[in-house]
């Protein structure tokens, strides 16, 4: 896994995702999930492209089922986009990298506007 990707756990989910001051994308995945393996390089590319502007993390639903359940994850891969600790967007299944980039870029731009206005 890329150095720009967070491995999310019970211990770090709240500080890394819910308390983050920058946008966060969480990839809910499982080792047995074929589509997750297809989407993984796209997710890792987001981590590299948005380093310092947004966080990108992966959470294995088999290792941390309570977190997956708290967000009603019923299919993998599911990507949740967080802003100020709240889910603001969702992608279920494999989608083009461009679509993921556009969604995260919009959140980063929103965050930059809010930060500069403060």
Domain at 106, CATH number: 3.40.30.10
Domain of 29, in residue numbers = 5-111
Mean pLDDT by 10 residues, the chain (118 residues): 85 98 98 97 95 97 98 98 97 96 96 81
CB atoms within 10 A of CB 52: 7
Residue 115 confidence (pLDDT) = 79
Residue 6 confidence (pLDDT) = 97
Q: Is residue 116 part of a domain?
A: no
36 counts as catalytic: yes
Residue 4 confidence (pLDDT) = 85
Q: Is residue 118 part of a domain?
A: no
Contact 42, 77 (CB under 8 A): no
Choose the catalytic residue: 5, 17, 33, 104.
Answer: 33
CB atoms within 10 A of CB 41: 11
Q: Provide the 8-state DSSP code for 58.
A: E
Residue 2 confidence (pLDDT) = 60
33 counts as catalytic: yes
Residue 118 confidence (pLDDT) = 65
Closest CA to 76 of 46, 39, 101: 39
CA distance 71 to 18: 12
- Structure tokens, 36: 């997750």
Q: Is residue 101 part of a domain?
A: yes
Choose the catalytic residue: 5, 26, 36, 39.
Answer: 36
Q: Is residue 117 part of a domain?
A: no
Total number of domains constituting the chain:
1
Strand segments (E) across 1-118:
5-7, 24-29, 55-60, 78-83, 86-92
Q: Is residue 81 part of a domain?
A: yes
Q: Is residue 58 part of a domain?
A: yes
Contact 40, 29 (CB under 8 A): yes
Q: Is residue 11 part of a domain?
A: yes
Q: Is residue 53 part of a domain?
A: yes
């Amino acid at each position: 896994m890329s150095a720009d990707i967070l491995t999310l756990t019970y211990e770090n989910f709240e500080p890394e995702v819910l308390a983050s001051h920058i946008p966060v994308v969480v990839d809910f995945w499982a080792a047995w999930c074929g589509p997750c393996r297809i989407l993984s390089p796209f997710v890792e590319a987001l981590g590299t492209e948005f380093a310092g502007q947004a966080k990108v993390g992966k959470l294995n639903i088999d290792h941390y089922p309570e977190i997956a359940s708290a967000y009603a994850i019923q299919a993998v891969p599911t990507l949740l986009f967080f802003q100020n600790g709240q889910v603001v967007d969702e992608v279920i299944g494999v989608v083009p990298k461009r679509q993921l980039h556009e969604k995260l870029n919009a959140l980063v731009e929103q965050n930059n506007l809010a930060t500069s206005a403060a």
